[in-house]
Amino acid sequence: MIRDFKYLAPKTLKEALTLLDKYGEDCKVIGGGQSLLILMKQGLVAPEYLISIKGISELDYIEFDAKEGLRIGALTTHRAIEKSPVIQNGFRVLAEMETRLASIQTRNWGTIGGNLCHGDPAGDPAPVLMVLDATLKMAGLNGERAMPVEDFSLDYFETALEPGELLTGIQVPVPPPHTGSAYTKFNVIESDLATVGVAVSITLDSGGGVCRDVRIALGAAAPTPIRAKQAEDLLKGKKITDELLGEAGQIAFTEAEPVSDIYASEEYRRELVKILVKRVGKEALARAMQA
């Protein structure tokens, strides 16, 4: 049962930050509530004040320009990202990832900011944003700051947000020419969290043969989403073949630090990393060759 709380619904970011500062540890922010309400129903979180930021329209936007790239407000729903023509055309992997995140009902309410702030290592958006080299924007009463998305998750369900701060937005640069990106997850229950998720982005040189840059990110394979940097190093500067991608998968297997739970054992997750890095790498490569 949910304990009684006082509900506050600020309409501006400034108002929300002022309330956060005033109520401190006695309050909790709620976006779409798709993750928080579960914790409240289980009695794991019982705030005295619930600050709903859902009505702050200045944090709900999808914008694009060639210089800044893509900007997504923290309160943008998963469904809005999935359906955005700008994202479908220029950042296809993001829209594709969203089609596999939860159900349409959850995507209609859940926000990208809430997903990242929840800090679940099995969340779908973080690995994709990591290979897209995204930056997160945060604000508190003392000002704004930004950090690469890969620095945001500190541990299981723990993020770099300071008390009194809100995540306000995400910025994704325009990918370099000849870049292809892909994501997939293996999950036991359709429309549920990843048992393991893998995102890969590959940039080829102008001749289209050699890998100029590569990013590989793993979800649900460690206490936080991680980059498989040794696997990336193997591919950089080389002509990527199936065999090389297989070797990269094998290296990523050793970089992962998964745990066993009711969905999969540690060993099974490592095997998934190995297989999915190769599979998703092939898809990203094919897209890079066509880009």
In the complex with ligand FAD, which residue's Cβ is closer, 84 or 115?
A: 115
| Cα three-residue angle 195-201-205, rounded to 5 degrees | 160
How far, in Å, are 157, 192, 193 from residue 279 at the CA level? 28, 21, 19
As measured in angstroms, the least distance from the Cβ of 226 to ligand FAD is: 16
In the complex with ligand FAD, which residue's Cβ is closer, 109 or 268?
A: 109
Can you read off the two tokens belonging to residue 291?
A: 């880009």
As measured in angstroms, the least distance from the Cβ of 70 to ligand FAD is: 18
As measured in angstroms, the least distance from the Cβ of 267 to ligand FAD is: 23
As measured in angstroms, the least distance from the Cβ of 31 to ligand FAD is: 3
As measured in angstroms, the least distance from the Cβ of 143 to ligand FAD is: 16
In the complex with ligand FAD, which residue's Cβ is closer, 56 or 284?
A: 56
Is 84 strand, coil or helix? coil
Give the nearest residue (CB) to ligand FAD.
114
In the complex with ligand FAD, which residue's Cβ is closer, 10 or 33?
A: 33
Task: Please tell me what DSSP assigns to residue 54.
Answer: T
Burial class (CB in 10 A: 0-12, 13-18, 19+), 291: middle
As measured in angstroms, the least distance from the Cβ of 37 to ligand FAD is: 6
Ranges of beta strands (E only) in 165-237 are 166-172, 179-186, 196-204, 211-219, 226-227
In the complex with ligand FAD, which residue's Cβ is closer, 235 or 276?
A: 276
Sheet holding 62-65, edge to edge: 62-65, 69-73, 166-172, 135-140, 143-148
Q: Give the residues lining the site for ligand FAD (CB under 6 A).
A: 28-36, 53, 74, 78, 101-102, 106, 109-111, 113-115, 117-118, 123-124, 161, 166-167, 192-193
In the complex with ligand FAD, which residue's Cβ is closer, 104 or 286?
A: 104
Burial class (CB in 10 A: 0-12, 13-18, 19+), 26: exposed
